[in-house]
Amino acid sequence: MTKAPLAILISGRGSNMAALIDAARSDDCPYEVVLVASNKPEAAGLATARAAGITTFAHSHKGLSREDFDAIIDAELRRAGARYVALAGYMRILSPGFVAGWAGHMVNIHPSLLPLYKGLDTHGRAIAAGDAEGGCSVHLVTAELDDGEVIAQARVPILPGDTAESLADRVLTEEHRLYPEALASYIRRHG
């Protein structure tokens, strides 16, 4: 089986990135990770990726326009031969031109049951609203923040006494299971 080349964009610790890299080791996984790139040269996930033998690229976005920065990332993704892009804790709003160039080929994981709680502080908002459940969503990336078609979700209960941190931990465990599975099934369907 020819595996689809996947690039992963991160800004931080990269635990979802690590889950995608681990899953890609299996023979029947339809993608291989060809690049991990970051807008934060200090992102901890870069060292994790390098330790796993993955090529990394880091460039700070500071002092650059959104368009100019995204053009730098886009050039690296193309140079690496990526066919799909997975955002994994990539905390940057993307320029419309960049998004258009990867339409149907770029996915994100967001820590809420979309369309609920787009943006930041998803767990704190779910608890404050008195929700019985939280969760995470894998969705296609469009120009609107956290707005593209949802391709998979996982739910967890919100328990009495939960804090944003305890709920985030419970959801993160599900993220690590959901993201590789959802991406693999999307790529199997779309080639």
Residues that are catalytic: 110
Distances (CA, A) of 60 to 40, 91, 147, 174: 5, 12, 26, 30
Strand order in the sheet with 84-87: 56-58, 31-38, 4-10, 84-87, 106-110, 133-140, 150-157
The residue from 172, 174, 181, 185 that contacts ligand GAR (CB under 6 A) is 172
Instruction: Name which of 29 and 112 has its Cβ closer to ligand GAR.
Output: 112
Cα 120 vs. chain centroid, distance in angstroms?
Answer: 14
Choose, by CB under 6 A, the member of 4, 7, 9, 14 that binds ligand GAR: 14
Told to check if 111 binds ligand GAR by CB under 6 A, we report: yes
101 lines the binding site for ligand GAR (CB under 6 A)? no
Q: Does 110 bind ligand GAR (CB under 6 A)?
A: yes
Taking the complex as a whole, the smallest distance from the CB of residue 115 to ligand GAR amounts, in Å, to 14
When the beta carbons of 138 and 184 are compared against ligand GAR, the nearer one is 138
Which residue's Cβ lies closest to ligand GAR?
Answer: 89
DSSP string computed for 112-138: S-TTSS-SS-HHHHHHHTT-SEEEEEE
The type of residue at 48 is T
Whether residue 37 contacts residue 61, with contact meaning beta carbons closer than 8 Å, is answered with no
Scan residues 39-78 and list those touching ligand GAR (CB under 6 A).
45
Q: Residue 60: CA atoms inside 13 Å, Cβ hemisphere, count?
A: 4
Among 175, 182, 183, 186, binds ligand GAR (CB under 6 A): 175
125 lines the binding site for ligand GAR (CB under 6 A): no
| Cβ atoms 150, 139 nearer than 8 A | yes
Enumerate binding residues for ligand GAR (CB under 6 A): 10, 12-16, 45, 88-89, 109-111, 136, 172, 175
